Amino acid sequence: MPGFELFGDTERKHLNDVVDNGVLMRYGFEGMRKGHWKARELEAALCQKMQTKHAQLVSSGTAALSVALSSAGVGAGDEVIMPAFTFVASFESVMAVGAVPVLVDIDDTLTLDPVAVEKAVTARTKVVMPVHMCGSSAQLKELKAICDKHGLLLLEDACQAIGATYEGKPLGSYGDLGCFSFDYVKTITCGEGGAVITNNDQYAQNADHYSDHGHDHVGKDRGAEQHPFLGYNFRISELHAAVGLAQLSRLDEFLGIQKRNYTILREALNTVPGITFRRVPEGAEENYSFLSFFLPDESSARKAHKALGEAGVDGCFYWYDNNWHYVRQWQHLKELKSPGKLPQEISTGMPDYQNRDFSVSDAVMGRTISVLIKLGWTDEEVNDRAERMTGAIRGAIK
């Protein structure tokens, strides 16, 4: 991670196909394309790779989540249960459709705690949205049981976890819908892009229409297409899809490199007293894009993180203080700051996050460090990194 580290001839070939025919838009202009439909090809490849019937490409992972929610009928005033540890896009996408993000605690998987989810269900709850943070699965079996019990949708935010699996199924394919991000720093990238996958025919048709102004895409005359319902512009371009098509063909290659580098670092850190590792649910396999581990307490985690930086080990994240990924720093959400007036369902229905108790999550996040696993490291570099990491942490927490 990220895929841009290994851009090469495959990416250039697909991009040149688009540049040569000059059609950058995914719809229309059939006579000019010379048979190239990169978005369609990438959607078909995603269906095969993710073992699902349908895939809809969109402009970002954030767009994918909003499109998925709307396509499944989620809207104003509905509640979506999600974790307190995620990227801000997760709650932004919920609010974009007028729904209310209900943040709950995580556990040592760094994902949703099923016990906290069960307690958060109300009559307004419509969706449970696990976020497979840092490349590893939430406890999907337990979460699906809660959804089945209460008649809720299970929407997987797999934006950070493409290639990871749960009970042999690709993450994103286990729930009713799954979403991916292909932004510039993901394991595979389009530069900008995202996708919704599902086995539900109606959700898929809704996503197809909703992401393109409500166009029904019937026939070959775009100007004559009907608009069964309102939509927005969440389209991906052919240039972005071309890069993604190349990168998806290399996913297994990338995962193999990540696993090798991850394993070297983990085996080294396993020799350091006091370090434990994030729990991967039974039956799950990570995509190895991050190595996440715990120190005994917040103080030792802070010391270790500082020591890693001083030792020149980049790509180490102490999420507890991070502006973008943990509720502790989301003041804009807590105060509902927006340049425009928010829907009443949000302004009156949002929980009081200024005073909500997230001490359970704090106890986890305050001890957590995650290390980005890069694709471009040489063997010498990854082994040198392992040595510097273990030395820095030993020195910090002795």
Across residues 82-107, what is the average pLDDT? 98
pLDDT of residue 81: 98
**Predicted confidence (pLDDT) at residue 108 exceeds the cutoff of 90:** yes
pLDDT of residue 237: 98
pLDDT of residue 130: 98
Q: What is d(CA 139, CA 155) in angstroms, rounded to the nearest whole number? A: 13
Look over the chain and give the mean of its residue pLDDT values, rounded to a whole number: 97
**Predicted confidence (pLDDT) at residue 247 exceeds the cutoff of 90:** yes
pLDDT of residue 339: 97
pLDDT digits (tens, 9 = 90+) for 274-285: 999 999 999 999
Q: Exposure string (b/e) for 214-234, b if CB count within 10 Å is 16 or more?
A: bbeeeeeeeeebeeeeebeeb
Find the largest Cα–Cα distance for the chain: 71
Long-range contacts of 33-37 (CB under 8 A, 24+ apart): 36/238, 37/238
**Predicted confidence (pLDDT) at residue 225 exceeds the cutoff of 90:** yes
Residue 14 CB-half CA count within 13 A: 23
pLDDT of residue 5: 95
pLDDT of residue 1: 82
Q: What is d(CA 16, CA 390) in angstroms, rounded to the nearest whole number? A: 45
pLDDT of residue 396: 94
Place 273 in a pLDDT band, splitting at 50, 70 and 90: very high
Place 398 in a pLDDT band, splitting at 50, 70 and 90: confident
**Predicted confidence (pLDDT) at residue 111 exceeds the cutoff of 90:** yes
352 Cβ neighbours under 8 A, 6+ residues apart: none
pLDDT digits (tens, 9 = 90+) for 179-202: 999 999 999 999 999 999 999 999
Across residues 111-135, what is the average pLDDT? 98
**Predicted confidence (pLDDT) at residue 168 exceeds the cutoff of 90:** yes
Place 348 in a pLDDT band, splitting at 50, 70 and 90: very high
**Predicted confidence (pLDDT) at residue 25 exceeds the cutoff of 90:** yes
Catalytic residue among 144, 186, 303, 374: 186
**Predicted confidence (pLDDT) at residue 268 exceeds the cutoff of 90:** yes
Verify whether residue 186 is a known catalytic residue: yes
Domains of the chain: 3-250 (3.40.640.10), 252-397 (3.90.1150.10)
**Predicted confidence (pLDDT) at residue 128 exceeds the cutoff of 90:** yes
Taking a C-beta distance cutoff of 8 angstroms, is the pair 179, 196 a contact? Answer: yes
Is this structure's pTM higher than 0.85?
Answer: yes
